[in-house]
């Protein structure tokens, strides 16, 4: 009986240690998405710049050519860090679509006016419903969509030159070659 009283706590401790060790070995930036390999959820968002006659952003915009959806918000500190690099990508001819997520009123439009607009189209998602359907957990997040409107990759966090060069650009180039 004394042996059992000693062995049970040791086994429980080793089990907990094993679970924690597995968790520590995982990259917290890698969050699986239930949408990988599936079509974009259907959405049709108004342009973030209300009254400008812009077309906004719709899931149908991603048929025929691969593209990126970048989720951003005016209140997002990491979005501000990422923004100059997105402007550089735009100058290089990269097509990026924006999803203004959970902003109030015209905050997203003012933010783009102040810092520059790197997006081809920008949809306004004030309630976050489209973001929820995409599985967005926070901003910024970027999705790579193929020419059939299927989600191929999700990146959580600000896009950096390294992430662009090693992950997003090679995938986008491959999808463009396949289209």
- What's the length of the chain? 179
Domain 29-178 class, CATH top level: alpha beta
Q: What pLDDT digit, counting tens, does each position of 16-52 carry?
A: 666 666 555 555 555 566 889 999 999 999 999 876 6
For residues 142 and 172, the answer to whether their CB atoms sit within 8 Å is no
Which pTM was predicted? 0.81
As a whole number of angstroms, the longest Cα–Cα distance in the chain is: 79
Q: Domain segments of the chain: what residues? A: 29-178
Among 28, 138, 163, CA closest to 86: 163
Task: Name 148's Cβ contacts closer than 8 Å, sequence gap at least 6.
Answer: 39, 63
Q: What is the pLDDT of residues 115-161, one digit of tens each?
A: 999 999 999 999 999 999 999 999 999 999 999 999 999 999 999 99
Give the model confidence (pLDDT) of 82-91 as tens digits: 999 999 999 9
């Amino acid at each position: 009986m004394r042996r059992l009283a000693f062995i049970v706590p040791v086994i429980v401790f080793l089990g907990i240690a094993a679970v924690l060790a597995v968790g520590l070995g995982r990259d917290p930036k890698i969050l699986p998405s239930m949408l990988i390999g599936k079509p974009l959820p259907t959405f049709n968002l108004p342009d973030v710049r209300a009254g400008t006659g812009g077309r906004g952003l719709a899931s149908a915009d991603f048929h025929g050519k691969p593209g990126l959806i970048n989720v951003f918000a005016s209140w997002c500190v990491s979005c501000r860090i990422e923004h100059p690099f997105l402007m550089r990508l735009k100058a290089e001819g990269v097509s990026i679509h924006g999803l203004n997520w959970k902003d109030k009123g015209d905050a997203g439009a003012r933010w783009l006016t102040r810092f520059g607009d790197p997006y081809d189209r920008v949809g306004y998602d004030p309630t976050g419903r489209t973001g929820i359907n995409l599985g967005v957990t926070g901003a910024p997040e970027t999705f790579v969509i193929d020419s059939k409107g299927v989600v191929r990759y999700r990146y959580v966090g600000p896009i950096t030159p390294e992430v662009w060069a090693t992950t997003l650009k090679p995938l986008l180039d491959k999808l463009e070659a396949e289209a």
